[in-house]
Structure 1
Amino acid sequence: MASIEYGFATVSDLDDLLALYAVLRPQYPAYVRGDAEKALASLLGQPHLRLIVARFDQRVVATCRLALLANIGRASRPLGLLEYVVTAGPFQRKGIGQQMLGFALDVAWHLDCCKVVLLSGTQRDLAHMLYEELGFRGDREHGFFIDAPL
Structure 2
Amino acid sequence: MKITVRPATDTDLSALLDLYRELNPDDAPLSEGTADEIWAAISAQHGRTVLVADADGAVAGTADCVVMPNLTRRGRPILFVENVVVASAFQRRGVGRQLMEAAVRLGETAGCYKAQLLAADDAYVHRFYEACGFTALAQGFRRYVE
TM-score with structure 2 setting the length: 0.95
Distance in 1 (CA, whole Å) between partners of 2:139 and 2:133 is: 16
Distance in 1 (CA, whole Å) between partners of 2:49 and 2:77 is: 14
SS at match of 1:66: strand
Distance in 1 (CA, whole Å) between partners of 2:26 and 2:77 is: 32
TM-score with structure 1 setting the length: 0.92
Tell me the alpha carbon deviations over residues 81-130 of structure 1, each in whole angstroms, 9 at most, x when there is no partner: 1110000011000111001110110011110111011112113x222111
Distance in 2 (CA, whole Å) between partners of 1:37 and 1:56 is: 24
Which 4+ stretches in 1 moved above 4 angstroms? Answer: none
Distance in 2 (CA, whole Å) between partners of 1:28 and 1:70 is: 31
Could you list the runs of 5+ residues in structure 2 that have no partner in the other structure? Answer: none
Q: Could you say what the CA RMSD is over the residues aligned between the two structures, in angstroms?
A: 1.1
Structure 1 residues 63-142: aligned runs within 5 Å: 63-123=62-122, 125-138=123-136, 140-142=137-139
Structure 1 residues 33-48: aligned runs within 5 Å: 33-48=32-47
2:145 match: 148
Q: CA deviation at 1:57?
A: 2.9
Distance in 2 (CA, whole Å) between partners of 1:62 and 1:31 is: 19
In the alignment of these two chains, the number of paired residues is 146
1:54 match: 53
Distance in 2 (CA, whole Å) between partners of 1:69 and 1:136 is: 19
Q: CA deviation at 1:58?
A: 2.4
Q: CA deviation at 1:21?
A: 0.3
Amino acid at match of 2:87: A
Q: CA deviation at 1:62?
A: 0.2
Amino acid at match of 1:70: P
